[in-house]
Amino acid sequence: MNPKALGAEFIGTFWLVLGGCGAAVLAADFGTGGNGTSLGLGFLGVSLAFGLTVVTGAYALGPISGGHFNPAVTLGLVAGGRFEAAKAVGYIVAQVLGGLAAAAVLYAIASGKAGWEIGEGAGAFASNGYGDFSPGGYSLASAFLTEVVMTAMFLIIILGATAKKASPAMGGLAIGLGLVLIHLISIPVTNTSVNPARSTSQAIFAGTDQIGQLWLFWVAPIVGGIIGALIYRGVLGDNEDVVV
């Protein structure tokens, strides 16, 4: 296992969680200005933050590790024939550790504000959830379907944008914009995971209720990632793109 690749996956996932979840925790709701306009980023700003972390991480770190930053992406790429299965465990461990490190940094920053509390219920510390822990009160079934479909589409975008016939200079941008759109659709449903490492890092700090729901944000994105990869490989892809 290439230690530089593992380091890139750690840093890339760290950046994704710090940038995306940091925007949600620190800047999504920042009150109103003197003229009554919102000073917070809102859903649109948080969605852009997640997309920008992937764009910047893909161009900076992608040449080193491939820029997965997500266990569901890693396993989807294995299913799609783009990544060696033997390397997957190391990547996933690095991703989870990177997410946890970012959550710890974010907690240290946020707790430095007088009176700040991690909160309870839906979206606490940018956590993911369903039922009472869904921002819009969506059911387990809705959350599961959302995470499966969104992650499947994410893998189709990734595999298409990184195919040999695609423009190599535009891959990172297409993937990042795809993640923006995914967040715009699904933040009200699950607070958007499509990434088990991102969900794990926030649930551990948010509380036991969020940890109890964490299973869904491992199972559904991984199932979705594999489905999306198999659809792309079987219906849309070329054999020349399969490398393993």
| Burial of residue 37 (number of CB atoms within 10 Å: 0-12, 13-18, 19+) | exposed
Q: What's the average pLDDT block by block, 10 residues per block, for the chain (244 residues)? A: 94 98 90 71 94 98 97 97 96 98 97 88 94 97 98 97 89 97 98 98 94 98 98 87 72
72-124: pLDDT as tens digits: 999 999 999 999 999 999 999 999 999 999 999 999 999 999 888 888 888 99
Give the Cα separation of 38 and 105 in Å (integer): 26
Give me the pLDDT at residue 243, please. 76
Residue 177 CB-half CA count within 13 A: 6
Give me the pLDDT at residue 173, please. 96
Give me the pLDDT at residue 238, please. 80
Instruction: Note the helical H segments in 87-195.
Output: 88-110, 140-161, 171-190
Give the Cα separation of 124 and 46 in Å (integer): 15
Domains contained in the chain, CATH given: 3-241 (1.20.1080.10)
Give me the pLDDT at residue 120, please. 83
